Amino acid sequence: MRVLVTGANGFIGTALCKHLIARDFSVHGLVRAHVPDEVGVVYHSGSLEDSELLSECLVDVDCIVHLAGRAHLIREKGGGVAAFRAVNCDATLNLARIAQEAGVSRFVFISSIGVNGAQTDTKAFDESSEPEPHADYAVSKFEAEQGLRSLLIGSGTELVIIRPPLVYGLNAPGNFARLLKLVASGLPLPFGGVTNSRSIISIENLVSFIALCIDHPAAAGQLFLVADGKDISTSEMVVALAHGMGKKPLMLPVPDALLKFGAQLLGKESLYTQLYRSLQVEPSKGRKLLGWEPKEATLESLEKVGRLYAAQR
């Protein structure tokens, strides 16, 4: 079975390509510029806006896993939601149209739990939860989901949508990378007494779920919210990472009102929400419908990441 992975040189894309090669898939990867040196992957270099290139990439492809997108925005002219929309929505729909024309059987779209919202209060998000995207990135992902449903449902190209929460691993970008660096520094951290509850997923668990969605008959036409299955607090995450590094973390209890005020003062409300508020996912649909089970337990996986991070420093 031939699979095209877009964003094949990213954090998730790199891990997914390795996972698929080990399972004897024929793997093609689309990257914007830098072509990795990964044995077993046929790489194509170019833009998602290049329709001619996409048509060439999709010859004899059975399934697309669409990971490529814009997650962060550098200050530039024409920023805001429009910049996210151009890549995460418009380019995605262009790819889907060409996939239809090429006779691709399945389109697996990696969206974001941000489509559901930034936090949960009492009830975990599940597939029936009403979408409430707030950040521009999440809005663009939701618009892409809506466009893909309109375009592909009822066509010859089956659609699968996956909304993962925070994906963690050794080379994870963004806030998880910054958290690793902070824990390794040994500096006091303001997470003492934090009792939030957050769903996360290891890179190994996520790629195993994506691989299952590539060819499982029951995945067709479905939306999945996926997670490790064990929700943890930010303080528990820090402790697990520190243990893996052979460190004992020093965590200071800081009043929540002070943390929130500081975040508002610095324009870091989103970071405050991610670190101190809860975001829970109910992932049972994928387990029941597809028979998927996480390969790694959360705390053990976090400790492993801590060990690997310490070993490479």
Cα 56 to Cα 51, 52, 64, 95, 96, distances in angstroms:
9, 6, 14, 12, 14
309 catalytic, yes or no? no
* 143/90 Cα distance (integer angstroms): 9
Residues in the chain: 313
* 188/57 Cα distance (integer angstroms): 50
**How many C-beta atoms surround the C-beta of residue 233 within 10 A?**
17
> Which residue type sits at 311?
A
* 29/18 Cα distance (integer angstroms): 11
Strand pairing report for 158-163 and 223-225: parallel
DSSP character at residue 7: T
Q: Which of 43, 137, 168, 276 is catalytic?
A: 137
DSSP character at residue 202: E
> Which residue type sits at 101?
E
302 within 8 A of 239, measured Cβ to Cβ: no
Residues annotated as part of the active site: 137
